[in-house]
Chains A and B, each alone.
Chain A
Amino acid sequence: MKFNDALLGIAFLALSVAVLVNIQSFPKIPGQSIGPGAFPGLIAILLAGCSFALIWRGWRERETQHLVAMGAWLRSPRHVANFAIAVGALVFYIVAADKLGFLICGALILLALFLALRIRPLLALALALVLPVLVHLIFYKLLRVPLPWGVLPVLW
């Protein structure tokens, strides 16, 4: 997905303004000219300058550059679905991992992704069941990362 430079410029400009507003509330250090806001302030001013240049460039090329140009993949429903499934899988993990546990979440995520990528269903299911267990063994047993068990009892 390609945005017109002017749109991106406006977004970055908004970011730099937000930073500049935010640093006004930072405390001043008595007896010194530079406080914690000085460095981010400098960066934000430079970013604002670059944003203006980007906006100008986008505006100048508005004839040839659309506001939003759809990449080829955005016209293919299958690939849009792939993208949504990948992002959705991560969101799902963030929300559900502590409740359901790593093994169940991992298996569901892999199954969804494998099926989206057209792996044969039986193979996808087998891999989705085996791979999370392997990853869990490596990180939980070997590296002692306390991956959540969730609804499952502590198995090893």
Chain B
Amino acid sequence: MLHAYAQAFALVFDPYVLTVIFASALFGLFVGCIPGLTATMATALLVPITFFMPPVPAIAAIVTATAMAIFSGDIPGALLRIPGTPASAAYTDEAYAMTKKGQAEIALGAGLVFSAIGGLFGTLVMVTSAPALAEIALQFSDFEYFWMVVLGLAGAVFIGNASILKASIALLLGLLVACIGLDNPAGYPRFTLGSTELTGGVSLIPMMVGMFAVSEILRFMVHLDPPLKLATEEIGNIFRGMWALLVKYRWGLLRGNILGTIIGIQPGSGADMAAWLSYAMSKKFSKEPEKFGTGHVEGIVEAGAANNSALAGAWIPAIVFGIPGDSITAIAIGVLYLKGLNPGPTLFINNPQNIYAIFLVFVLANLIMIPLGWLTIKAAKMVLSVSRAIVMPTILLFCIVGSFAINNTVFGVALMLVFGLLAFVLEENGFPVAPAILGVVLGQMMEENFIKSMIKSDGDPSAFFTRPIAMVLALSTIIILFWPVGTWLWRRWRRNSVLTT
């Protein structure tokens, strides 16, 4: 193991990889800082470039850029009252209220320092738990994998979506897209509509660029909001008083870290929900809940840490089981597959140095976040004055080239456009996009394990429940599936009994 760590060090502390990390850090900070550009979009835009890199720098680029983007989303939240990424939305009003009180440096400092702490905490959990989980995962057969995928998809649909019905439809659409092409157990070309380009299936990269970048650009083209205006130009020393905050809110910070990591691990929900829940939790347990919303730093400490720890947490199921914890890791898993580095427990045995390299990148990214984040806050006025009317078309040009670059045909650009429009229309109508992307990424794995299990058991579905681990996983899935129905029935039953007595 030590040997593998030495190898991992050599992999990460290589001038090329370090340059990639530094450049993607700046990219992530910039993207996070600009409202309308999300961490997921940063990942989607990086993918075409990572296509040309070896696996470790490719993953390092994604890990670093997203960690930075989730932090720097706090900056426009505090200065413009517009969250840079959805993960900062939970405490944007709070941070803005602090800026109005002349405490912008405390809001931003807390965002930065506790983001880094949250990220490091999530990484620590990952480093300690992932290898142990991989040991368990090695015992899994097709039955368990089938249930793991179903559990992951069920989580994506049933947890945190406004409409479970619409989330289910999004997921099923994703699964259908995954069916296109030759890559199925029978090797039969399905739904290719006579196109030779579709025989290989829908390329992940143009699809992701379309769904996460082009759709955002289309949304910007039709947005009616007034231009951005900075609330303050004076930002003092952001590190002053941070130690005192750390001591004062240590329990809240720990709670935010733990909650964030757990929500990250849970498939389908990521940094956004971690921030919302832990902000709510912070208010609930606070000694002074009446101060929340008036420019009180406590919630920012807790939720700012939670969204970054969720980011790391999401990687745990991704590298151990190949099941993404959020849409960012869904994209990252797609990248790993393209590199022939299929995520899963065997990765821990065959290529442990790659896994340890990912751990190291996480630590490194969260450490360099502090100086680079400080610089970004210093330069915030300049960054935020870059007109989005210039940034967005330029990104569209990048999208075109990125989608083209995968197969060197304009067919990729066409795919990108189709999925961009689809995501735009779906989101306008209240369909979440994350379940769809999880469906596309996991569809093939789900089908393979389903078919293999059915063949092994001679078409007898009870085999899905008889192995002990499979049964536990099946039970957890069923609990998630029936949780909403159950609570609904319970409320109804209680209301009725209240009415009759």
Contacts and interface: CB of A to CB of B under 8 A. Distances in A.
Contacts of A26: 188, 190
A93 interface: yes
Interface residues of B, number: 55
Contacts of B173: 12, 47
A114 interface: yes
A14 interface: no
Nearest to A128: B393
B26 to A, nearest CB: 15
Nearest to A142: B52
A52 to B, nearest CB: 10
B400 A145 contact: no
A147 interface: yes
A72 B224 contact: yes
A83 B222 contact: yes
Contacts, number: 156
A153 interface: no
Interface in A1-47: 1-3, 8, 12, 15, 19, 22-23, 26-27, 29, 32-36, 38-40, 43-44, 46-47
Given A1-B425, A3-B429, A36-B188, A114 B400 contact: no
A22 B173 CA distance: 16
B389 A118 contact: yes
Given A50-B165, A82-B222, A93 B393 contact: no
Given A114-B390, A139-B405, A39 B410 contact: no
B49 interface: yes
B434 to A, nearest CB: 17
A11 to B, nearest CB: 10
Contacts of B221: 79, 82-83, 85-86, 116-117
Counting contact residues on chain A (CB < 8 A from B), the size range is 35 or more
B396 interface: yes
A2 B93 CA distance: 28
A16 B410 CA distance: 29
A10 B316 CA distance: 39
Main SS at interface, chain B: helix
B397 A34 contact: no
Interface string B180-212: 000011101011000000000000000000000
A73 B223 contact: yes
B172 A43 contact: yes
Interface in B216-273: 217-218, 221-224
B401 interface: yes
A65 B191 CA distance: 34
Given A76-B224, A90-B413, A143 B218 contact: no
Interface string B305-333: 00000000000000000000000000000
Given A12-B169, A79-B224, A39 B451 contact: yes
A117 B218 CA distance: 12
Given A40-B190, A72-B224, A147 B397 contact: no
A127 interface: yes
A62 to B, nearest CB: 16
A33 B52 CA distance: 42
A34 B428 contact: no
B29 interface: no
Interface of B: 49, 52, 165-166, 168-169, 172-173, 175-176, 179, 184-186, 188, 190-191, 214, 217-218, 221-224, 387, 389-390, 392-394, 396-398, 400-401, 404-405, 408, 410, 413-414, 416-417, 420-421, 425, 428-429, 446-447, 450-451, 454-455, 459
Interface of A: 1-3, 8, 12, 15, 19, 22-23, 26-27, 29, 32-36, 38-40, 43-44, 46-47, 50-51, 53-54, 57, 71-73, 76, 79-80, 82-83, 85-87, 89-91, 93-94, 97-98, 102, 106, 109-110, 113-114, 116-119, 127, 131-132, 135, 139, 143-147
21 contacts: A1-B428, A29-B186, A35-B186, A40-B190, A43-B176, A44-B176, A50-B172, A53-B165, A86-B217, A97-B413, A98-B410, A110-B394, A113-B392, A114-B390, A117-B221, A119-B387, A131-B394, A135-B401, A139-B405, A143-B405, A145-B405
